[in-house]
Structure formats: C-alpha cells, structure tokens
Amino acid sequence: MHWFYVKHSQITEKQIYITGEDVNHIKNVLRMNKGEKIVICDGEGKDYYCSISDIDKSQVVADILEINDTETELPVKIYLFQGLPKKDKMELIIQKAVELGVYEIIPVSMKRCVAKIEDKKKEQKKLERWQAISTSAAKQSGRGIIPTVQGMLSFSDALKKAAQLDCAIVPYEQATNIANSYDTIKKVCKCKSIGIFIGPEGGFDDGEIEKALEAGFQTVTLGKRILRTETAGLTMLSILMFEIEMQSE
C-alpha cells in the first residue's frame, strides 16, 4: 500500500485532501483510481487508512476508513548531532538515519570539520535539500513522522541543546572496554530522549571531548576498528534501534 504525508490542516473528520506534487504522483505516475486504498500519515504519529473517493487536477480526496497509531516509530527520540562531513556524505547519513528511526538530525560545526558552510543562502539551500531527502526516506520506510534536519549549530550550542535531553553518548575512537560500553548503551536506551554526537572526518578535538564529558555525556566504543564519520553514526543508530526495540517487546 502506498504512503503519503499531509499537514494536519488537510484532515477533516471523515476525509483527507491531498494536494501538491503527490496529486501528480497518484494520478499520472501510480495511475491510481477511485476506490484504491492508500495510507496517509499526519507526520505526528497517526496513520489514516483510506480509500480514494475523488481525483482531479488539483487534489485527491480520500475517505478515512481507519485511524491507528503508527507502529514504525521508536518509543525513544534519538537526536543525531553530526559533525559536518565533506561533499555529499551528509545526504547518505540523513537518508539512512531516517530509515533507522532518528527523530532529529543536527549538523554541527566542529573544530576538525573540513567542510564549511559560511554563506547563509548556501546553508538554506542545503537545508532544503537535506529536508527533502529526509521526507523521501520517511516515505520509503513508512515512518510516522518526517524527521527534521535542523540548521547548523556550533559545538557549544549543540552541547546546550543536548543537555536538555535525558542522556547523550559519544562514540569515540579512544574509548575502550566494549563490555562497559554495552552496559552504557542498555542504560541510555531506557531514556526518553538520547543525543548521539558523531565527529567529522578528522575526529573530535581533545577539547571537545573534555567539554562533552564535563557536560555529563558518556563515551562508548564501537569496536577496535576506526569507522568513517558516515559509518559511525549509522552503526550507533543501528545498535540503539535494535536494543530499544528489544526492550520494548
């Protein structure tokens, strides 16, 4: 069954009105007809199982048959604080992080970041592109929400934002004792909100790690191999997703 997303304002008591690009997709790409079933998500964790009742040039009208809480969202909100990587690596990170259940993605400017975005217009274009990738990945994976890609933060501002969460962890290549790391991961998975800090290609600066530890964040090891920045975050998300879903069974 095909999934579509709408704003809450497009939902009435008995019907949902789909507008914009999805109209062309339903009508001319999927070539759907009246009576066919679709799933519409409000982006807030509700899935509406619907039957198409009308299709015209400007909108698709769907009758609501059933409303359910989405089953694809984790009970924990995971925030990925990603050190800004080079070139188009951020696009891959966003796509896969959304598939793995991330709640929000925050690009972070760190001391060893090679990539820089200093022009506000360029940053806005990047954010629009990244948000479109998040939306596409959410549709593909049947997410109940569309994770937001926030504007770039400095490392100090990222620490302040993460301090508002229940807990935060930092995969760090100099961390040791994988058994202790696993114990830490099991504990943080009981939190309602988790921050993950991932360093850029050059890794974390020693001063950044010190500040993270002072803020009460915990470092963990992901094994004996040094992972690329685009691998480390996805590895951490995979571990958390599996452990959280195991605990919620």
State the pLDDT at residue 121.
80
- Say yes or no: 57 and 112 in one domain: no
* Measured distance CA(221)–CA(63) in Å, rounded: 50
Average pLDDT, whole number, for the chain? 92
For 81-89, what is the mean pLDDT? 93
**CATH number assigned to the domain comprising residue 163:** 3.40.1280.10
pLDDT band at 209 (very low <50, low <70, confident <90, very high): very high
User: Do 42 and 86 fall into the same domain?
Assistant: no
Domain boundary among 69, 91, 126: 69
CATH number at residue 62: 2.40.240.20
How buried is residue 91: exposed, middle or buried, by Cβ count under 10 Å (0-12/13-18/19+)? middle
Q: How many domains does the chain have?
A: 2
What is the band of 189 on the pLDDT scale with cuts at 50, 70, 90?
very high
- Structure confidence at residue 115 (pLDDT): 75
Per-residue pLDDT at 168: 96
pLDDT in tens, 105-120: 999 999 988 877 777 7
Q: Give the C-alpha distances (Å, rounded to integers) separating 97 from 35, 88, 143.
A: 35, 15, 12
Helix (H) / strand (E) element for 6: namely none
Residue at which a domain ends, from 69, 98, 120: 69
| Strand ranges in the chain using DSSP code E only, listed in sequence order | 2-5, 15-18, 37-41, 46-55, 60-69, 77-83, 104-109, 148-149, 153-154, 167-171, 193-198, 218-220
Can you name the residues that pair with 105 across neighbouring β-strands? 80, 149
Tell whether 120 and 59 lie within a shared domain.
Answer: no
Q: Smallest Cα–Cα separation from 146: which of 135, 161, 162?
A: 135
- The identity of residue 198, as a single letter, is I
| Whether the Cβ atoms of residue 135 and residue 146 lie closer than 8 Å to each other | yes
What whole-number distance in Å separates Cα of residue 170 and Cα of residue 115? 21
Written as six digits, the tokens of 157 are 């501002």
| Per-residue model confidence as pLDDT tens digits over 229-241 | 999 999 999 999 9
Query: Which domain-ending residue is among 69, 99, 121?
Result: 69
Q: Which two tokens stand for residue 108?
A: 């972070």
Residue 31: per-residue pLDDT: 94
Concatenate the DSSP letters of all residues of 106-158 into one string.
EEEE-TT-S-----HHHHHHHHHHHHHHHHHHHHHHT-SS--EEPPPEEHHHH
What is the pTM (predicted TM-score) of this model? 0.88
Share of the chain above pLDDT 70, in %: 100
CB atoms within 10 A of CB 188: 23
CA–CA distance from 55 to each of 133, 213, 217 (Å)?
Answer: 27, 56, 52
Same domain, 93 and 187: yes
41: domain range?
2-69
Look at residue 95 in the predicted model and tell me its pLDDT: 97
Please compute the mean of the pLDDT values over residues 197-219 and round it to a whole number. 93
Q: Work out the pLDDT band at 87, boundaries 50, 70, 90.
A: confident
Note the pLDDT of residue 164. Answer: 95
Q: Are residues 126 and 49 in the same domain?
A: no
Under DSSP, the state recorded for 27 is I
